[in-house]
Amino acid sequence: MPRSYPLLVPLVATWLATGPAVAQMAQTPDKIAPDKIAPDKIAPDRSAPEKASPDSAEKTVPQSKGQVHLSFAPVVKRAAPSVVNVYASHVETRGASRSAMDEFMRRFFGENGGGRGRGGAPGERAQKSLGSGVILDESGLVITNNHVIENMNEVRVALADRREFEATIVLRDPRTDLAVVKIKSPTGGLVAMPFGDSEALEVGDFVMAIGNPFGVGQTVTQGIVSALARTQVGSSDYQFFIQTDAAINPGNSGGALVDLNGRLVGVNTAIYSQSGGSHGIGFAIPASMVRAVVETAKGGATSVRRPWLGARVQSVTPDIADSMGLDHPTGVLVASLQPKSPAEEAGLKRGDLILSVDGKTVDDPEAFGYRFALKGLTGTTKFGILRGTSRTNVLVKLGPAPETRPRDTLKVRTRSPFLGATLVNTSPAVAEEIQVDLPAEGVAVAGVEENSIAARAGLQKGDIIVAINGAPISTTKDLERITRNSLNMWEVSINRGGEVLTSVFGG
């Protein structure tokens, strides 16, 4: 019998329907997957603890049998009205012409069997998903996970009181797996959930997860914070999660993780599971990141821009820590710097060890990326560094990565190894978005469609096209000119992670 390995699964219920309504719960995926101010600015860091609310109390363990019998019902009554169900769908209308298979299905199984809709209308193929969300503004702004609405074009939101509304997609942020939708024409009575302070959470604190697991309806579960700053989860670019044992399951995606004051401290996004169900290991995106994305949406932006450092950092191994005289591995090591970048201008040097960002300790590249991403696009931030045996601070100027030349996005439509790939000219802005180190010039693969010729050829996001049939490629115009012709053989050289690979493909 094959062994079963645990994996991360998204907390979203999905199904595919053709013609009449057909619903089927999605199978557990075979890979790790997640459960995308002023218009150009992310919210400033709000990691400093907030003032205690009047109903906050000192944390103590139960002192009597009566205390053990206390109820969380008052907290649920306060928080539950802010948690919603998010229904998303992507509908593709098929043409009216029939194929031979359509005619076969119609004759033997009836009109609907031929892939046509009710009443003989052209058939529709609908992909649907079900998740959760949280109302964070009385105007109708709702936070959810990006993977709940990814590739979807229709969204509906159902409130706890069973009212339903259409919603528009305001902002997608795949890098955090967060998205913001807005309820169309709300009729009033929307209850916004206040933000809590995710930075003040401690392991052992009580929390509650509220969402719509498996589509059964709004459900509340209770547990504790099992761990903080989990960075090896793999469900987004900014890995810095709250871990909880509160039971969360598929359908909880985008739901609320709340503290005992009914405030949002996290958005549930993934679970670690062998079966697709809860095994007591769930992960939530901290409220500090959620707040930043929501504030960006409130400012009118449709995407989130983050500060650019212009340096590559790496983890500190035990050997490196020992060579630097550290008691244990901590911080991130500056491995390289880009010319004229904020990192270089701040005086950072290769080999510096970054220990903190504005006083917040960082232990690995994921934690560093999370802390730096929250800093905004104006002003400066302070890095605590170790250089040799001396500790010092440097001030890094905050700002977006520059677009040093036009992207000239290219989607190759002729048959070639690049069919299905999205190609762009490189720049610091492109490098920041696809999270790779890119040279000053070249053509980068910004995306690859599933099951496309480019995917089968092995192209990956972040690859840099170096040459085709021996001809150097500097811009997308170079690549477009070469791919206009049908060739019997393609020799493609790419730079992947600093290593040049050359492959030969048939025409």
What pLDDT band is residue 26 in, cutting at 50, 70 and 90? very low
What pLDDT band is residue 53 in, cutting at 50, 70 and 90? low
What pLDDT band is residue 42 in, cutting at 50, 70 and 90? very low
Which pair of tokens denotes residue 218? 């709004």
Looking up tokens 């795949």 gives 174
Report for 10-19, 97-106, 226-235, 386-395: range of highest mean pLDDT: 386-395
Query: Taking a C-beta distance cutoff of 8 angstroms, is the pair 428, 308 a contact?
Result: yes
Among candidate residues 168, 132, 164, the one with its CA nearest the CA of residue 147: 132
* Residue 59 vs residue 318, higher pLDDT: 318
What pLDDT band is residue 40 in, cutting at 50, 70 and 90? very low
Q: What does the pLDDT read at residue 109?
A: 39
Q: What does the pLDDT read at residue 10?
A: 55
Q: Which of 210-224, 230-244, 416-430 has the lowest mean pLDDT?
A: 230-244
Q: Which of 80-84, 110-114, 418-422, 435-439 has the lowest mean pLDDT?
A: 110-114
The answer on pLDDT for 46 being more than 60 is: no
pTM over cut 0.85: no
Among candidate residues 17, 25, 18, the one with its CA nearest the CA of residue 113: 18
In total, the chain counts a number of residues equal to 507
Tens digits of residue pLDDT in 139-184: 899 999 998 988 887 899 999 988 999 999 999 988 888 999 999 9
Looking up tokens 């009710």 gives 118
Which pair of tokens denotes residue 405? 């030349």
Residues recognised as catalytic: 147, 177, 253
Q: What does the pLDDT read at residue 440?
A: 59
User: How many CA atoms are closer than 13 Å to the CA of 320, on its beta-carbon side?
Assistant: 15
Q: What is the DSSP letter of 202?
A: -
Bridge-based pairing of strands 410-411 and 421-425 is: antiparallel
The answer on pLDDT for 78 being more than 90 is: yes
- CA–CA gap between residue 251 and residue 277 (Å, rounded): 11
Tens digits of residue pLDDT in 109-136: 344 444 444 444 455 556 777 889 999 9
Give the residues across from 211 on adjacent strands: 219
Q: Max Cα separation, the chain?
A: 82
Q: What does the pLDDT read at residue 107?
A: 41
